Amino acid sequence: NAGVTQTPKFRILKIGQSMTLQCAQDMNHNYMYWYRQDPGMGLKLIYYSVGAGITDKGEVPNGYNVSRSTTEDFPLRLELAAPSQTSVYFCASRTRGGLTGELFFGEGSRLTVL
Amino acid sequence: GIQVEQSPPDLILQEGANSTLRCNFSDSVNNLQWFHQNPWGQLINLFYIPSGTKQNGRLSATTVATERYSLLYISSSQTTDSGVYFCAVGTGTALIFGKGTTLSVSS
């Protein structure tokens, strides 16, 4: 199993450009999440999803969009990139119910907006 | 929304020392997890512990849900324990993270 896979690992954008961060998991997890981590800070929840076709806003959703057309994929779209979106983005997933709700993370995508 | 506070923010230890990290939260939760972020940025789940006590080698954790706090114990610390320790809590699907405790262990 690959677990949670994020692409790209690094990206530099110019102000106003758009891009999509890809996230895929092969663990058949229902729940998927996008977090951002600014330097020296904790993780802030951007969006999450409880299953295909269902998404919801987290703590810091402005400037981002998501979709969940399949169980496996949860892409994060940045429209009109701004310097404030410079951050490391983490995708995570977990199963619903069961004995554990352990959260599994991808390796992160480092985005710089200049 | 739910608030998560971790203490201390920074901790410096000599190899072999023990430490206790604390996570306070503002509301009842049904999900609490501890994570370690290593110096390369990788996030590893240490414990899923919404209540009770668990142990894994030199690490153990206790959550007292009725008093809204959790503790992470690290015994006989090693340099590889360095990094940031995060607590994350949730009442439903969303998991909210604290700001973390940065641990530095020197040999």
- Beta carbons of A74 and A66 less than 8 angstroms apart: yes
pLDDT at site A2: 79
Distance CA A35, CA A18 (A): 18
Both structure tokens of A9? 């690992």
Q: Summarize the confidence of residues A76-98 as an average pLDDT.
A: 91
Coil, strand, or helix at residue A11? strand
Burial call B19-58: b when 16+ CB within 10 Å, e when fewer: bebebbbeeebebbbbbbbeeeeebebbbbbbeeeeeeee
- Residue A28, number of CB atoms within 10 A of its CB: 9
Distance CA A47, CA A62 (A): 10
Compute the mean pLDDT over every residue in chain A, rounded to the nearest whole number.
Answer: 93
Both structure tokens of B78? 């090693």
pLDDT at site B104: 97
Alpha-carbon B7 to chain mean position: 9
| B60 Cβ under 8 Å from any chain A Cβ | no
The 3-class SS string of chain B reads CCCEEEECCEEEEECCCCEEEEEEECCCCCEEEEEEECCCCCEEEEEECCCEEEEECCEEEEEEHHHCEEEEEECCCCHHHCEEEEEEEECCCCCEECCCEEEEEEC
The C-alpha of A114 sits at a distance from chain B's nearest C-alpha, in angstroms, of 22
- Beta carbons of B66 and A23 less than 8 angstroms apart: no
Nearest chain B residue to A41 by CA distance is B99
- Residue B17, number of CB atoms within 10 A of its CB: 13
Judged against a pLDDT cut of 70, whether residue B56 lies above it is answered with: yes
Question: Count of alpha carbons within 13 Å of B80, Cβ hemisphere only?
Answer: 2
Q: Which domains does chain B have, with CATH numbers?
A: 4-106 (2.60.40.10)
Contacts of A104 in chain B (CB under 8 A): 45
Contacts of A35 in chain B (CB under 8 A): 97
Judged against a pLDDT cut of 70, whether residue A1 lies above it is answered with: no
Structural domain total, chain A: 1
pLDDT at site A102: 86
Q: Which of A32, A33, A36, A37 is the mutation pick for testing B, counting most B CBs within 10 A?
A: A37
Nearest chain A residue to B102 by CA distance is A40
Both structure tokens of A77? 């779209």
Domain residue limits at A72: 4-113
Q: Summarize the confidence of residues A20-46 as an average pLDDT.
A: 94
Could you tell me the pLDDT band of residue A100, with boundaries at 50, 70 and 90? low
pLDDT at site A15: 97
CB contact under 8 A, A48 and B97: no
Both structure tokens of B36? 């370690």
CB under 8 A, 24+ apart: contacts of A69-72: A71/A28, A71/A29, A71/A30, A72/A24, A72/A25, A72/A26
pLDDT at site B91: 81
For residue B62, the one-letter residue type is T
